[in-house]
Structure 1
Amino acid sequence: MAHRIAVAGATGQVGREIIKTLAEREFPAADVSALASGRAVGGSISFGERNLSVGAVERHDWASTDLVFLAPGTTGPVTLARKAVAAGCVVIDVTGMSDPDAPVVVPEVNPGALAANPRIVASPVAGAILLSLVLHPLQALGGLVRIVATSLQPVSGAGKDAMDELFSQTRGVFVNDTATPEQFTKPIAFNLIPHVGGFGEGGLTDEEEAIAEDTSRLLGGVAVAATCVRVPVFIGQSLSVHASFDRPIDEAEAREAIRGAPGLTLLDRRDDGGYVTPLETVGEDPVFVSRLRVDPTGPNGIALWCAGDNLRKGGALNAVQIAEELARRGALRG
């Protein structure tokens, strides 16, 4: 059965990647509408071997659509999601803004959350996708007690203008231009900024709260402490992770669990270059795991490094996999 698809926020980084991923994975689409607002309307986006004309999201007929992806940058996602659901659509929200009660889903981790055929499904933030994918197979070995993670986040997570700022500031360093921050609070070229999202009352940022909340929901309520750092990398998110379990887990069984888990690739040799870096994940579907070791500083601890393309599995691919699972369950009209 083929389905009528719309992608709102289609001209953003993740929106374009969703359209690309739908074509690559040959999702059964009877029609695909690329939607945006403002000056982006009227442009075109590649969908396989053809181009899609970008339509105005405000004028779209939701009754003519079965499935809607809300990509980051979507204007008014809460209102739009309500309109789409009222017209009979299923909404996959990649913005994290439309419905706080929607199930948060990573198909390799909790596909059962789709059993009730929800009308709105949330694809979590990239850091939570990576964390849950990596720790889910280890959770089967011993109950997770606590996760402490540092998320190193590329500028693509803040959009094209942020990527342009990194490029221009990097070039400016070599010609003695003064770096004037516009997209970030401080210069990003050759720098690290421990600030992603707005600060809340307790000192956590929005992104840190989102990673902690989404990961906890995905992994059954485990306590998560996250620190987010913006790094001078264009694409590719990495996390340094320390996890505690309710029983000892040795390194060999942890490695075996990760090797057998869907969506993961273990790349971990204890020699020069025997680990993955963000650059190597660009355009790749798996989340890569390296530097796996026992953490001797606390009881039952495992430490590891993981990295993945934040626009692929950390964004578009996870959303499309949710759509594939919904289609398999017969939850989409067509």
Structure 2
Amino acid sequence: MRITVIGATGTVGRIFLKLLEERNFPYSELNLCASSKSLGKSLSVNNKSYKIEPVSAELLRKTDITFISATTEISNEIGLLAQSCGSTVIDDSSAFRLKPNVPLVVPEINVDDLYNHQGIISIPNCTTTPLAMVLNALSKYQSINRVIVDTYQSVSGTGKSAINELHQQHSQLTSNQTISDPQIYPHQIAFNLIPQIDVFTKNDYTKEEEKIINETRKILHNSNLPISSTCVRVPVIISHSEAVHIEFNKEISTKKIRELLLNHRGISILDDTKTNSYPTPLQTEGTNDVYVGRIRKDVSHKNGIALWIVCDNLRKGAALNAIQIAEELIERNLVKYTP
């Protein structure tokens, strides 16, 4: 299996390389690409050094699977080029997610959608994946009438520059220095919350909020699912959190909710109010599961349930999902490759 990683030096790209090692992914050849400022640098994978090289059609023609973690613009350009070169693309951007002929896949939910791929497969937004997994577990037992989700998203979802800005602002504030003007976000992020992720749209939702709505519907094959979202950037480095309220068509017990979640692959429960046990970003950083806690009846609606979800956005929210998709492609003989 010949693999090319586009965006290898980025936050998601580096986790992807680490997961190649952890999961003993069966590659025979590995190529690493990144922006021009990284050319010539080296990264170590499985105790072997790989130089960062430029992307080219020649390289992509010799690639079985191309993993892309880059901007939407770069994904559009390189993704289509790789597809035309015969490489199967697994893309982490929003470039192709809502295109009808591109599967948007979470392997624990809709792995069979891979059979419809035409050379490009999309990974959902990092907040969509954990939400969709929880809704998938619950909707198999009871129809869902409405979902309201509020997200609390770490700065690593933006990238290394945002992590650096948070560290810089925190250092300046705690040492009584004048804080630099924010460059990445519209406001200071240190010791603050910003209820805006991406730009606002005509209906006053942000693009991030619309991504969660539309992507969740596509993954669950439920285009009419009533869902509303509010996305907030928080001064946390890794892991996204979500407060979710779900209204069912019939009353459902918290005991049944726990049972359904525990039986779903990739979901773990941390939920014991007696010991103050619930998932937090620090607990989930570096882990692969979607963690759920604070499971309780919604006191405002007899058919409602409230719960709390936390997930490492760089792993299951991005890189791990890509690795799992590649593994499924190989297992199902859905990708042509050189052993």
TM-score band by shorter chain is over 0.9
Q: Render the CA deviation track for 1:194-215: whole Å, top value 9, x for unaligned.
A: 0110111111111111111111
The 5 A counterparts of 1:143-162 are: 143-162=143-162
Once the 2 structures are TM-superposed, how far is the Cα of residue 75 of structure 1 from its aligned partner? 6.0
Q: Distance in 1 between matches of 2:197 and 2:27?
A: 36
**Matched residue of 1:150: which SS?**
strand
Residue deviations 1:90-116, cap 9 Å, x none?
111101114632111100011111122
Alignment CA distance shift 1:74-1:223 (3 Å): closer
Structure 1 residue aligned with 2:175: 175
Give the structure 2 partner of residue 133 of structure 1.
Answer: 133
Q: Is the 8 A contact 1:258 1:265 kept in 2?
A: yes
> Where does 1:4-83 land on structure 2 (aligned, <5 Å)?
4-58=2-56, 61-73=59-71, 76-83=74-81
For normalisation by structure 1, the TM-score amounts to 0.96
**Counterpart check, 1:251 vs 2:249:** no
Deviations 1:214-239 (A, max 9, x none): 11111223222111100000001100
- Aligned letter for 2:211? A
Rate the CA distance shift 1:302–1:170 in 2: closer, same or farther, 3 A.
same
Please report how far the alpha carbon of residue 136 of structure 1 lies from its aligned counterpart in structure 2 after TM superposition.
1.1
AA at the equivalent of 1:283: G
Separation in structure 1 between the aligned mates of residue 4 and residue 72 of structure 2, nearest angstrom: 12
Contact 1:37–1:57, Cα closer than 8 Å, also in 2: no
Which runs of 5 or more residues in structure 1 are unaligned? none
Question: Relative to structure 1, is the Cα distance of residues 208 and 60 closer, same or farther in structure 2, using a 3 angstrom cutoff?
Answer: farther
- Count of paired positions: 332
In 2, the alpha carbon distance for the partners of 1:88 and 1:58 equals 13
Among 236, 239, 247, the residue aligned to 1:236: 239
Instruction: Give secondary structure in 2 for the equivalent of 1:147.
Output: strand
CA–CA distance in structure 2, aligned partners of residues 138 and 96 of structure 1? 26
Distance in structure 2 (CA, Å) of the matches to 1:199 and 1:260:
38
Q: Percent identity?
A: 38
Q: Which runs of 4+ in 1 moved over 6 A?
A: none
Counterpart in the other structure of 1:93: 91
Give 2:328's match in structure 1, choosing from 325, 328, 333: 325
Which residue identity does 1:46 align to in structure 2? S
In the aligned structure 2, how far is the partner of 1:34 from the partner of 1:88?
Answer: 18
Question: In the alignment, is the contact (CA less than 8 A) between 2:152 and 2:232 conserved in 1?
Answer: yes
Counterpart for residue 264 of structure 2: 261
- TM norm structure 2: 0.94
TM-superposed CA distance for 1:73, in Å, is: 4.0
Tell me, in whole angstroms, the C-alpha distance in 2 between the residues paired with 1:301 and 1:118: 40
The aligned residue for residue 118 of structure 1 is: 118
Q: Which residue of 2 aligns with 1:315?
A: 318
Q: CA deviation at 1:24?
A: 1.3
For residue 297 of structure 1, the aligned residue among 290, 297, 300 is 300
